[in-house]
Amino acid sequence: MPHTTHITRGKVFLVGAGPGDPELLTLKAARLLASADVVLIDDLASNEMLSLCPQARVVHVGKRGGCKSTPQAFIEKLLVREASAGNKVVRLKGGDPSIFGRAGEEIAALEAANIEYEIIPGITAGVAAASQVATSLTHRDYAQGVAFITAHGAEGAAIDWSALAQAKLTLVVYMGVSRAGQLQTDIIAGGMAVDTPVLAVENASRSDVRIVVSTIQAMHHDFAREQLQSPAVLLIGEALKDRAVQLAKAALYEQQRSLVVAQA
């Protein structure tokens, strides 16, 4: 008989919290929250969700009051430490963990420490934004697919905008608000038509959602004028053309409060 030692170890769940509306949380995420020992929560994951885990010790690891985010290395150490102590740990992340959620780094840290883990998907902000403006991201006449893009590339990593301009894709740009000027310059330099529609969706799925309708040519100016705030995603592409026109008309004629017309 081989000798086996039983070691009690915890487990880490990397859980997508969705874009903000607690009803967009999965049943699985809610169940895991209700039985977690420790919850590490990002600032993009809605605090409302904490009512689902009153029993858990909660650690806020996002930006608070304009402070810098908790360093990623610290979060990884904390995950390993808590799970090694036998705890069931939920790492609650905004949207989906696999979309600009540092899941790759956390998985690597957990594997290196031999900690068991599981990933629970969530609704990513770009998809929530599409539902918010009631559009398809893949209108079959205009788009053959979707690209999730960060405007905040890793140090020095340039996005190949000319390749994207050639491809018939709808672009969903994350983290683009504070970089809208550079983004606009880069997209135009990449050769994308300047009248391509841009729909910016701020606070998708939350009660304070705002939509700014613009184009590549006008986006920087329009976002500044409307004081577009983070978090917002930008939906860019011909697939949005009909919806952009409709939204602009709806706002002009109905003066919807949540809708800001930047470009008729």
The answer to whether 61 contacts ligand SAH (rule: CB under 6 A) is no
Angle at the Cα of 41 from the Cα atoms of 77 and 11, rounded to 5 degrees: 55
103-112 in b/e form (b: 16+ CB < 10 A) is beebbebbee
The answer to whether 14 contacts ligand SAH (rule: CB under 6 A) is no
Reduce the secondary structure of the chain to three states and give it as a string.
Answer: CCCCCCCCCCEEEEEECECCCHHHCCHHHHHHHHCCCEEEECCCCCHHHHHHCCCCEEEECCCCCCCCCCCHHHHHHHHHHHHHCCCEEEEEECECCCCCCCHHHHHHHHHHCCCEEEEECCCCHHHHHHHHCCCCCCCCCCCCEEEEEECCCCCCCCCCHHHHHHCCEEEEEECCHHHHHHHHHHHHHCCCCCCCEEEEEECCCCCCCEEEEEECCCHHHHHHHHCCCCCEEEEECHHHHHHHHHHHHHHHHHCCCCEEECCC
The answer to whether 210 contacts ligand SAH (rule: CB under 6 A) is no
The answer to whether 119 contacts ligand SAH (rule: CB under 6 A) is no
User: How many Å is the maximal CA-CA distance in the chain?
Assistant: 79
Choice among 49, 96, 175, 192 that is catalytic? 175
Q: Which stretch binds ligand SAH (CB under 6 A): 66-74, 93-101, 105-113, 251-259?
A: 93-101
Of residues 52 and 211, the one with the C-beta less far from ligand SAH = 211
The answer to whether 20 contacts ligand SAH (rule: CB under 6 A) is yes
The answer to whether 186 is a known catalytic residue is: no
The answer to whether 222 contacts ligand SAH (rule: CB under 6 A) is no
The answer to whether 205 contacts ligand SAH (rule: CB under 6 A) is yes
Q: How far is the CB of 259 from ligand SAH (least distance, A)?
A: 15
Q: Which stretch binds ligand SAH (CB under 6 A): 22-30, 67-75, 199-207, 220-228?
A: 199-207
The answer to whether 197 contacts ligand SAH (rule: CB under 6 A) is no
The answer to whether 233 contacts ligand SAH (rule: CB under 6 A) is yes
The answer to whether 203 contacts ligand SAH (rule: CB under 6 A) is yes
Binder to ligand SAH among 40, 90, 125, 219 (CB under 6 A)? 125
Residues 164-193 touching ligand SAH, rule: CB under 6 A, are: 174-175
The answer to whether 46 contacts ligand SAH (rule: CB under 6 A) is no
Cross-strand partners of 212: 200, 260
Of residues 196 and 205, the one with the C-beta less far from ligand SAH = 205
The answer to whether 1 is a known catalytic residue is: no
Catalytic site positions: 42, 63, 175
Note the residues at the interface with ligand SAH (CB under 6 A): 19-20, 44, 93-96, 99-101, 124-125, 129, 174-175, 201, 203-206, 230-233
